[in-house]
Structure 1
Amino acid sequence: MSLSLDGLVSGLKTTEVIKALMDVHAIPRTLLKAKIDDKNVVMTQLRTLNTAVQNLAAAAEKAAAPGGLDRFTGTSSSESVKVALRTGAAPVSTDIVVDRVAQAHTVVSAAASRWPADPPVLTLEDATGKRVQVQADSTSMQDIAQAINDADTGVLATAVPAGKDADGTPVYRLQLRAEESGEAGRFRVYAGDLAAVTAGTATDVSTEPGAAVIATGTDAQLRLWAGTAAEQVITSSGNTFTDLFEGVDVTVSTVSTSPVTVTVAVDSEARAKASGEFIALLTDIFTRIDNGSKATVAAGQGEKTTLGVFTGDSTIRGLRTALADAIQHPVDGVSPSTVGISTDMYGKLTFDEEKFSEALAKDPAAVGALFSAVAARVEQTATSYSDKYDGLLTSRITGQESEVKSLGEQMERWDVRLAQRKASLERTYARLEVMLSQMQSQSSYLASQINSLPSSRSGSDS
């Protein structure tokens, strides 16, 4: 930190003088900073707009795909049957009969305070016949459960309190449950090692006195067209039948004593809403562009005219025009306005959901084809502007970034020059003080010498 004492000799406020001079020298640097700030504001708006156009391109791509406008609802006539829809679903209605639901294989051992064998060795055998030997650290039922879980055999073991024995010692049952339901999750547990199991001398834990198979691993089963020559039996390891019909998943929770009707129907309201949301993306982009292109004209003398961030930007103007053309031009001679998509005399895009729903109800295929064609044009236009490699908006942003970088480098050079100039001024004024000090010293010396000379009057009196 430098120490500055203003005008010790001259009486000048040198700090203020230097600051005033530096403010004049820094005018070009100040103008550069203002220019960078303006361009950063433009870049922020361009990036926000580019993101919106990218989102529009993604939505348009989905809408342009076959069935992109399709919306369906899935229902069943029973609370025990749930219907979930995915891409590819189509209208269907049929009856199913649920014969059984899936169960996870579960075995519970006899109650004991500790495992009867030491060392405690068990062998688990899965539905494919694969065997895994497990040995616990102690005969504690908790340690045995932990050893089974650590073996990662697809069986979850838990030591469950089962009261106390005659001596008052707490006893436990070992509950073993398959992590996955269905027949493929069935297993057997033997008290003994692999050799004993192979020799047939190991004991099946579930057959010991007080033990039991609580649930046998079972696949869920339902029938389509039950009781007819076309009856079809379908099984699933879980209670969800994935793709029972294309794009339709059915989950069952209880057995049905009578047929349950599963229905997938067209959801006209959802289709109209989805179309309206797509148009809203376009409307939002148009609003952003229009607001950013407005200029505030000076209302009186002394006031300034303020330009919008997009005012005079040919790229942005071209984007708006291209999107407007894509959304409003006819498709095979049919205008989008016939289905409620129109632009007024001021260029404002509107969507008449009621008119769209009516057209959809009369001819869903024609409306779907028209909307897909419009969406395809919008997708093509949006992609050409927002593509992350060669999009026109992307290039515009890249150009702005290059300009800001160049201006920043100019500012750095100005900072160096200004620092050098300030140092030069400080040295100059410091030298000025030194010179004035020297001159004052010389003046004082000369004055003292003159005062010491004998006067002419004193000479005449002698």
Structure 2
Amino acid sequence: MATIDSDYVKQMAQQLATYEVQNGLNKADRNKSSYQSQLSAVTSLETALKSFSTAVKNLQGVTGSNTSMLVNSATTSKDGYLSAKVDKNAVPGSYDFFVEQLATSHQLSFAGLQTSDIDTQGTLTLSQNGKSFDIDLSAIDTDGDGANSLDELAAAINKATDNTGVKATLVRSNGRVSLVLGAEKSGAENAISLSLSGTSSANSAFETAIGNPQELSKAQDARVRLGGESGMLLTNSSNTYDNIIDGVSVTFTQAQKSGELPITMTVAQDKSETTKKVQAFIDAFNALAGQIDSLTAAGDQNGASRGALAGDSSVRAIESSLNQMIRTSFGGANLITLGISADRTGKLTLDATRFEKALASDPESLDKLFMGKGNLLDSLDKNLALYTNSTNGVMKSRKDTLNASLRRVNDDYDSLQKQYDNYYTRYLKQYTSMMQTMQSMNQTSGMFG
């Protein structure tokens, strides 16, 4: 008796079951491919929007703290004596400085002290600029050996919660240790003074050392003369003079010798850096425009592929909104008047000659357009937030919708698998039954052969 060909039966059941679900499977595959393609495109667009948003924020500064697209800079007649920080309010001009003296921080050294010299009772008082703090000598013995070491004294000074700005360190040389006290801030007003009270009269080494320190560095103010060596005296506790001239802060780094020529600082508009800021905006905008064009490309018969978001109304809305915004005038100024134009693809280009002429005739026009509440950068920032907000932005909503659609496709695959399993079981049973019937008929026929 011949056996039923089970492999053939299974193969036929598989083919018929696959045929039954093939249309649904093809549809699910098309939907999955479409949704994944759109999700990838939306994610790329979101990344491009966020990159542009970051560029806009960088031009605005942290929390919009930048106030100008204009960049002023300072140059000096000789390097090494000063550096300057210049803002948009700086008045162009030349200024002569003679650096008579740099500000320094007070520093004192206490040498030759041994552990046995430091009192274990009484109070050490350190004072600066009318303020003081106390070190209780009976409470600084942290290792419990009954003595106060230089390490323990230094630690107590540094850890004092009301420390006025004194830093204690230990300096070692040839086996000897010295205590060094330094003022954290420079200037005469931050000079350090010390006094002892309540100590043992029998122990004078510590009192002698505290009363007669070696001065390593004086507490002195910076002395700078505007106009030359005999010019106007400008003093400051720090070597950095904030707003020494409207819009200019200067840090002096080296003193001069009598008779030397003053250092000439020239403040002027930095055309190159100003242009770089504008070009950074243009480059960021063009990168976004290029990404949008790629994702929304219509495709053609010559082989150019169709973008995943071609014809997408929301993407076109983004593009339209951005293009309208860059064509809008703010404060009476617009990109065209500054020599910035858009080509037929919507990308921006800068005419350097026209830009320089526009700045020369009306330098404030750049900030009128770009900076300030409600102007171009602020408007772009707010508009972009509608799309890039991680909580309720348009891009997040689109991704959520597409991910939900992909989950439904997965549900469709699960459903199709169940249908396939049912069809397979049914056809396997039918084919097995048919093969059994044919086998029985062949056996019966053979009896009459």
The amino acid across from 2:37 in the alignment is D
Match of 1:42 in 2: 41
| Cα-to-partner distance string for 1:272-328 (whole Å, 9 max, x where unaligned) | 3333333333333333333333333224xxxx7742234323444454455445545
Q: Does 1:369 align with 2:374?
A: no
| Cα-to-partner distance string for 1:217-275 (whole Å, 9 max, x where unaligned) | 223233446798x9454322x32222223442211233333644333222223223333
* Residue-pair matches, total: 421
Give the CA deviation at 1:40. Answer: 0.6
Match of 1:159 in 2: 170
Give the CA deviation at 1:415. Answer: 3.2
| RMSD (CA atoms) | 4.4
* Whole-angstrom CA distance in 2 between matches of 1:206 and 1:118: 12
The amino acid across from 1:160 in the alignment is V
Give yes or no for contact 1:156–1:178 (8 Å, CA) kept in 2.
yes
Which residue of 183, 191, 209 corresponds with 1:205? 209
Range with bigger deviation, 142-151 or 373-382? 373-382
* CA 435–56 in structure 1, closer or farther in 2 if over 3 Å, else same: same
* Whole-angstrom CA distance in 2 between matches of 1:234 and 1:42: 61
Structure (1 or 2) with the larger CA radius of gyration: 1
Give the CA deviation at 1:411. Answer: 1.8
* CA 11–370 in structure 1, closer or farther in 2 if over 3 Å, else same: closer
* Whole-angstrom CA distance in 2 between matches of 1:139 and 1:332: 70
The amino acid across from 1:188 in the alignment is S
Q: Does 1:403 align with 2:401?
A: yes
* CA 72–333 in structure 1, closer or farther in 2 if over 3 Å, else same: closer
Match of 2:31 in 1: 32
Q: Does 1:360 align with 2:376?
A: no
Q: Does 1:98 align with 2:99?
A: yes
Matches within 5 A, 1:55-454: 55=54, 57-58=56-57, 68-78=68-78, 79-86=80-87, 88-117=89-118, 119=120, 123-127=124-128, 128-134=131-137, 135-136=140-141, 137=143, 138-151=147-160, 153=163, 154-163=165-174, 170-190=175-195, 195-196=198-199, 203=207, 205-208=209-212, 211-224=213-226, 231=232, 233-236=234-237, 238-256=238-256, 257=258, 259-299=262-302, 306-328=305-327, 337=336, 339-344=338-343, 348-361=347-360, 363=361, 366-369=362-365, 372-373=368-369, 378-379=376-377, 382-383=380-381, 385-388=383-386, 396-429=394-427, 431-432=429-430, 435=433
* CA 396–334 in structure 1, closer or farther in 2 if over 3 Å, else same: closer
Give the CA deviation at 1:33. Answer: 0.8
* Whole-angstrom CA distance in 1 between matches of 2:405 and 2:5: 38
Q: TM-score, normalised by structure 1?
A: 0.73
Give the CA deviation at 1:380. Answer: 6.5
Give the CA deviation at 1:47. Answer: 0.8
* Whole-angstrom CA distance in 2 between matches of 1:347 and 1:222: 54
The amino acid across from 1:221 in the alignment is R
Give yes or no for contact 1:125–1:189 (8 Å, CA) kept in 2.
yes
* Whole-angstrom CA distance in 2 between matches of 1:381 and 1:161: 61
* CA 44–106 in structure 1, closer or farther in 2 if over 3 Å, else same: same
Structure 1: which 5+ residue stretches go unaligned?
1-5, 164-169, 456-462
Give the CA deviation at 1:434. Answer: 6.8
* CA 146–42 in structure 1, closer or farther in 2 if over 3 Å, else same: same
| Cα-to-partner distance string for 1:432-462 (whole Å, 9 max, x where unaligned) | 5775797699889x97xx98xxx9xxxxxxx
* Whole-angstrom CA distance in 1 between matches of 2:10 and 2:66: 83
Structure 2: which 5+ residue stretches go unaligned?
none
Range with bigger deviation, 270-279 or 424-433? 424-433
* CA 151–433 in structure 1, closer or farther in 2 if over 3 Å, else same: farther
| Cα-to-partner distance string for 1:153-194 (whole Å, 9 max, x where unaligned) | 34333332343xxxxxx332222222333334332345x5x5
User: % of aligned pairs identical?
Assistant: 20
* Whole-angstrom CA distance in 1 between matches of 2:379 and 2:166: 56
The amino acid across from 1:268 in the alignment is K
The amino acid across from 2:72 in the alignment is F
* CA 427–311 in structure 1, closer or farther in 2 if over 3 Å, else same: closer
Q: TM-score, normalised by structure 2?
A: 0.75
* Whole-angstrom CA distance in 2 between matches of 1:184 and 1:20: 93
* Whole-angstrom CA distance in 1 between matches of 2:400 and 2:152: 66
* Whole-angstrom CA distance in 2 between matches of 1:253 and 1:196: 43
